[in-house]
Amino acid sequence: MANIHDVAAKAGVSAATVSRFINSSGYVGAKTRTKIREAMEALDYVPNSMARSLRTNESMIVALVIPDVTNPFFPTVVRGVDDVASKSDYRLMLFNTDGSKRREENILSVLAQTRVDGVIVIPSETVGDAQITDFLEQQRFPIVLVDRVIDFPQVDCIMTDHYLGAYQAAQHLCGLGHRRIAHIAGPRRVVSSEERVKGYAAALNDFGIPVDQSLVVHGDFTRYTGYGSLDSLMNLPEAPTAVFAANDLMAIGVIERARELGIKVPEDLAVCGFDDIEYASIVSPSLTTVSQETYRLGKLSAQLLLRRIAEPDCEVRRIKLKPNLIVRESAARVYQHTLGRW
Ligand code: RIB
């Protein structure tokens, strides 16, 4: 069986040029393309991925469905998935639902009729969501759930321990002496958001602080809802001295609005986020946050999927990665004007 080097020799080009031609991963001149095509035909050469697809009826394509392509958290997951998939000759098909159930429903129905070999899904909503459950039950191909995982025992899944991460964030703020700690949660019915509300409440309870529901508001994981939530929180009869936002984008929105209101972070208001996106250490003040192993979420989810494709009956894996509190300037131990203490 001819290989890529035989084709290169016959066409009088390098193996790298042949690889670029096969994978459409770079410029190859028209004359060279013709020479390579003629050499492949003469040698009856079929590229690996194409050969495998013909032999096993696999498409060599996997799909990844994410909720928000503009949030830096998700492209990092995509990077991890693609690095693993491409090493095994799989192409990645990416879908963005914009957190819309309608869009997600449309994408899942398209996927059900598409020749993909497997699907990795970060659902837009999952709490009690029949749509995802139906899709999983009808699963015609291997599926891996990531990040926002529902209790579906037959499906491989991987997520961060959202509850523990939120507990760590609120515990840190309590440890700084804060007793009026607001929580800007993510969207309702999203597991990562709901688990963080529980972790926040548990930490306050452990410090003997009753949860004041007026201090818990829901955003949509974008900077704008973090920005927009601060005014109403600061206008409460007893304003918060700290804010724990359920993701970094909302936390950055809070810092942006605090600056406009003349509120110093952290002296007047401590701020903590969740995700540890690339910009968390660059914004000013640098963001205290809970880091997720985001790239590893993507890498491991792709490994779980390729494993399921190769061994459909292997045991189901449910992986929970540990979060890690990263203390930076926005909620560091400084003299807290609002508390009158260090
Ligand atoms: O920033 C987006 C959030 O949605 C992240 O915290 C991630 O866990 C996802 O659930």
User: 3-state SS string over the chain?
Assistant: CCCHHHHHHHHCCCHHHHHHHHHCCCCCCHHHHHHHHHHHHHHCCCCHHHHHHHHHCCCCEEEEEECCCCCCHHHHHHHHHHHHHHHCCCEEEEEECCCCHHHHHHHHHHHHCCCCCEEEECCCCCCCCHHHHHHHHCCCCCEEEECCCCCCCCCEEEEECHHHHHHHHHHHHHHCCCCCEEEEECCCCCHHHHHHHHHHHHHHHHCCCCCCHHHEEECCCCHHHHHHHHHHHHCCCCCCCEEEECCHHHHHHHHHHHHHCCCCCCCCCEEECCECCHHHHCCCCCCEEEECCHHHHHHHHHHHHHHHHHCCCCCCCEEEECCEEECCHHHCCCCECCCCEC
Q: What is the whole-number distance in angstroms between the Cα of residue 35 and the centre of ligand 1?
A: 49
Mutate to test the pocket of ligand 1, among 160, 275, 276, 322 (most ligand atoms within 8 A of CB): 275
Q: Phi and psi (nearest 5°) for 184?
A: -95, 100
Distance from residue 264's CA to the centre of ligand 1 (Å): 27
Ligand 1 centroid, distance to 294 Cα (angstroms)? 10
- Predicted local distance difference test score (pLDDT) of residue 331: 97
pLDDT in tens, 20-30: 887 766 788 88
336: which strand partners? 341
pLDDT at position 153: 79
Q: At what angle do helices 30-43 and 15-23 cross, to 10 degrees?
A: 90
Q: Give the span between the Cα atoms of 42 and 156, in whole angstroms.
A: 44
User: What is the total residue count of the chain?
Assistant: 342
**In this predicted structure, what is the pLDDT of residue 113?**
84
Bridge-based pairing state of the strands 156-160 and 143-146: parallel
Mutate to test the pocket of ligand 1, among 122, 124, 221, 287 (most ligand atoms within 8 A of CB): 221
Mean pLDDT, 10 residues at a time, the chain of 342 residues: 85 87 77 88 72 64 96 98 94 94 88 89 73 74 89 88 98 96 95 96 98 98 98 97 98 98 97 97 97 98 95 93 98 74 68
pLDDT in tens, 326-335: 999 999 876 6
Distance between CA atoms of residues 51 and 46, nearest Å: 6
Q: What is the reported pLDDT for 303?
A: 96
93 Cα–ligand 1 center, Å: 21
Say what the pLDDT of residue 342 is. Answer: 65
Ligand 1 neighbours by CB, cut-off 6 Å: 71, 73, 147-148, 192, 221, 247, 274-275
Name the residue at shortest CA distance from atom 1 of ligand 1: 247
In this prediction, residue 179 carries a pLDDT of 96
Return the pLDDT at 129.
63
The number of the ligand 1 atom at minimal distance from the alpha carbon of 246 is: 6
Tell me the CA–centroid distance for residue 257 and ligand 1, in Å: 21
Residue 277 CA: which ligand 1 atom is closest? Answer: 1
CB 91, CB 52: distance < 8 Å:
no
Mutate which of 65, 70, 73 for ligand 1 pocket (most atoms within 8 A of beta carbon):
73
Sort strands 270-272 and 216-218 into parallel, antiparallel or unpaired: unpaired
Kindly report the backbone phi and psi dihedral angles of residue 208, in degrees, each rounded to the nearest multiple of 5, phi listed first. Answer: 70, 25
CA of 247 to the centre of ligand 1 (A): 6
Residue 128: its pLDDT value, please?
54
Å from CA of 191 to ligand 1 middle? 10
C-alpha 329 – ligand 1 centre gap (Å): 22
| C-alpha distances in Å from residue 325, one per residue of 172, 174, 215, 269, 293 | 8, 14, 22, 18, 12
Ligand 1 nearest atom to the CA of residue 71, by list position: 1
